[in-house]
Structure 1
Amino acid sequence: MSASAFMRAVRITEHGGPEVLELTEVAVPAPQPGEALVQVSAVALNNTDLWTRQGAYGLPDDPKATSGWRGPIDFPRIQGADVAGRVVAVGTGVADSLVGRRVVVDPAIYDGEGPDAHPVGLMGSERDGGYAQYVTAPAERVHDVTRSPLTDEQLATLPTAYGTALGMIERGRLGTGETALVSGASGGVGIALVQIARARGARVIAISSGAKIDAVRAAGAHEVIDRAGDVTGQLRAAAPEGIDVALDVVAGELVGQGLPLLREGGRWVIAGALGGYDVAFDVRRLYLHNAQVIGSAMHTPAHFDLLMDLARQGAIRPVIAATFPLDQAAQAQEELSRRDHVGKIVMRP
């Protein structure tokens, strides 16, 4: 590839609505030492794309501040955390054998080198992402999945949604035979939670609504609670012995209502706040029953390695809701924000 090559990319130059997404031509990035250049086959959309574009993440001292995933972001920024593709070039210090391999990129930027490092940044927010024909990434974050039976679109859905889900399940120590509650079960992370928890041998009780209930059941939920009804009443009936692990991307009122449904030593894992971030609960329910409330942001490198093993085995089959071309990024994000779909929305650059 010539040094002067250009590519199509969708980037933002400010926070705002879908109108701030601009399709443009920019130089193909050159892989730096320790990096790989990936030709993007598919890029999946996430709520993180919407919230980074809107600047909706807030700051620790100012929850309403305009911010990317972890603070102010540099503009212009190419969005897109979830990339599947093929390595076409490598920087110095990276084995040439990686070139030509089919890969998934771990989008997390970590606070250290070890297997249990914490994510403190995200591709598409703190560095340029995959709403483009090419993207660079550190070679140690590029995972070879050449032999996976999954399609490129399915592979692209894995990093953020399935990585977040597996991080929740690992931090919540969900075991075979335990009962898991999944909130927001029709969303990208929700479907991932249902599929992975089911594959792990847990009994899965999911919360969803309306037309999406059948799709959540098809994804592997043993029982589906209609959130339009009496949620706690339905949960008590579905799990009279209690819940071992709650896998919650909704938060809000559900936390206070749901904590009394945990068994002794139960774990309530939170990785989202679709129902509101201002939460109240009776703290006696926590300490008198040895319960835990666990925050879970994405995954660790070790979690991502586990996820890539599942991908190579084809042990989970992601659900694709819709596919868009790159020049319809704004329409794709609007489709995502309507939340009428089940599964993941993907773009093909």
Structure 2
Amino acid sequence: MTKIPCTMKGVVLTGHGDLDVLQYREDIAVPQLQDNEVLIRVMAAGVNNTDINTRIGWYSKTENSGDASWSGSALQFPRIQGADVCGEIVAVGIQINKKRIGERVLIEPCLTESNGQKLTAPWYFGSECNGGFAQYTVVSSAHAYRIESELTDIELASFPCSYSTAENMLTRSNVTKNDRVLISGASGGVGSAAIQLAKARGAYVIAINSPNKNSQMLALGADEVLARNCQLVEALGENSVDVVIDLVAGEQWSQYLEVLRPHGRYAVSGAIGGAMVNLDVRTLYLKDLSFFGCTILEPQVFKNLITHIEKGHIKPLVAKTFPLQEIHTAQTVFQEKNHVGKIVLTIE
């Protein structure tokens, strides 16, 4: 039986700001289990845009950061971030079957319950509650999914956030066989996941990315690649794609609507190119377009992702790994955007 210590190593977010608000400590109290929770020994945890956006207060629409969390409420400090978690269940609450102890699990990052109780509004793991940038973490048992795979802990930690986000976007926009799908930000974690998951559905995939990453995008399964900031209408023609999976927004945004066919679907889950865009409402209604803002996971999404992993339909993309105590370096490298796939922190 695993002996559980009283304290653990981890990184705490002490406020909104630069990297200095992330503090590595070795004296953090191990979280206490509630009745319907499981205690997980974290093996590896991925780095995400959400971690950085939350740290710098990017989600806030006001100047006082009072709405700078994922849910739009004030973030409570100190907070342990980290949504992408692969680990092992080492203890369970009194309402949970002890047979779960020893299970290798992935944590569903979009939480709809806490300690077995339904939430009035979903939480993001590592935002509204403590996450996985530590040796141990707790989560409601329903959000810890058993995984049977020969992949390493590091490889598995590359999946939860990016791949569930991508699968949710494809689910919401109902991507099916033979759809022509345009993916912006295709070389990032969510974009590269969307390529693989769209191909698994039988879609034709067009990836937008930096030209120096073309070969990697084609190797992932993209049928075409386009350079960032290219003129999409010139490259593809008007009314030429069925679905846009957008992670960028920014100045190119209005072109997405021009290349969408009548009754086309637009799904968005990111705005790294700029959150404010120009919308000609006439294009929206005259082409009968459907828009999907994608944050909360549909109920079947994470289960479907586990199935894709276990059946080998998708493969992990790990760009670099760093030990947890080098989180400042990891996030700096992440923000440089010179990588393809995920950056993962190892936790010992």
Q: Please confirm whether the aligned pair reaches a TM-score higher than 0.5, indicating the same fold.
A: yes
Please point out which of 94, 97, 101 is paired with 1:95. 97
Which residue type is aligned with residue 225 of structure 1? L
Please, which runs of 5 or more residues in structure 1 have no aligned partner?
A: none
Q: Does 195-204 or 103-112 show the bigger shift? A: 103-112
Which residue type is aligned with residue 343 of structure 2? I
How many angstroms apart in 1 are the aligned matches of 2:114 and 2:80? 24
Q: Tell me, what secondary structure is at the counterpart of 2:39?
A: strand
C-alpha distance 118-246 of structure 1, shift in aligned 2 (>3 A)? farther
2:201 is matched with 200
1:35 is matched with 37
C-alpha distance 64-220 of structure 1, shift in aligned 2 (>3 A)? farther
Tell me if the contact between 2:36 and 2:115 (Cα under 8 Å) persists in the aligned partners. Answer: no
Please point out which of 311, 314, 319 is paired with 2:312. 314
How many angstroms apart in 2 are the aligned matches of 1:186 and 1:64? 33
1:112, distance to aligned residue in structure 2 (A): 10
Corresponding position: 1:178 with 2:176: no
1:254, distance to aligned residue in structure 2 (A): 2.6
C-alpha distance 118-232 of structure 1, shift in aligned 2 (>3 A)? farther
Please point out which of 247, 271, 284 is paired with 1:273. 271
C-alpha distance 103-313 of structure 1, shift in aligned 2 (>3 A)? same
Structure 1-normalised TM-score? 0.92
Which aligned runs of 4 or more in structure 1 are off by greater than 6 angstroms?
111-114
**Percent of residue pairs identical:** 40
C-alpha distance 259-64 of structure 1, shift in aligned 2 (>3 A)? farther
How many angstroms apart in 2 are the aligned matches of 1:112 and 1:90? 14
How many angstroms apart in 2 are the aligned matches of 1:233 and 1:112? 49
How many angstroms apart in 1 are the aligned matches of 2:122 and 2:59? 13
How many angstroms apart in 1 are the aligned matches of 2:344 and 2:333? 11
1:188, distance to aligned residue in structure 2 (A): 0.6
2:232 is matched with 231
Q: How many residues align?
A: 342
2:242 is matched with 244
1:301, distance to aligned residue in structure 2 (A): 2.8
2:51 is matched with 49
How many angstroms apart in 2 are the aligned matches of 1:113 and 1:120? 13
Which residue type is aligned with residue 324 of structure 1? F
2:164 is matched with 163
2:84 is matched with 82
1:14 is matched with 15
Q: Tell me, what secondary structure is at the counterpart of 1:254?
A: helix
Tell me if the contact between 2:181 and 2:204 (Cα under 8 Å) persists in the aligned partners. Answer: yes
Q: Does 149-158 or 63-72 show the bigger shift? A: 63-72
1:288 is matched with 286
2:151 is matched with 150
2:142 is matched with 140
Q: Tell me, what secondary structure is at the counterpart of 2:271?
A: coil
1:300 is matched with 298
User: Over aligned residues, Cα RMSD in angstroms?
Assistant: 2.2
Tell me if the contact between 1:119 and 1:298 (Cα under 8 Å) persists in the aligned partners. Answer: no
How many angstroms apart in 1 are the aligned matches of 2:134 and 2:282? 50
Q: Tell me, what secondary structure is at the counterpart of 2:300?
A: helix
Q: Tell me, what secondary structure is at the counterpart of 2:17?
A: coil
Structure 2-normalised TM-score? 0.93
Which residue type is aligned with residue 201 of structure 2? R
1:256 is matched with 254
Tell me if the contact between 1:245 and 1:268 (Cα under 8 Å) persists in the aligned partners. Answer: yes
Q: Tell me, what secondary structure is at the counterpart of 1:175?
A: coil
2:215 is matched with 214
C-alpha distance 292-46 of structure 1, shift in aligned 2 (>3 A)? same
Tell me if the contact between 2:86 and 2:156 (Cα under 8 Å) persists in the aligned partners. Answer: yes
Which residue type is aligned with residue 32 of structure 1? Q
Give CA deviations for 1:37-76 in whole Å, capped at 9, x if unaligned. Answer: 01111100100010111111114xx388461212211111
Q: Does 280-289 or 95-104 show the bigger shift? A: 280-289
Give CA deviations for 1:252-311 in whole Å, capped at 9, x if unaligned. Answer: 233311202111210011111112111212222221221112111152232111111112
C-alpha distance 264-192 of structure 1, shift in aligned 2 (>3 A)? same
Give CA deviations for 1:75-120 in whole Å, capped at 9, x if unaligned. Answer: 1111101100110000110011110011001121227999xx9973
How many angstroms apart in 2 are the aligned matches of 1:128 and 1:230? 43
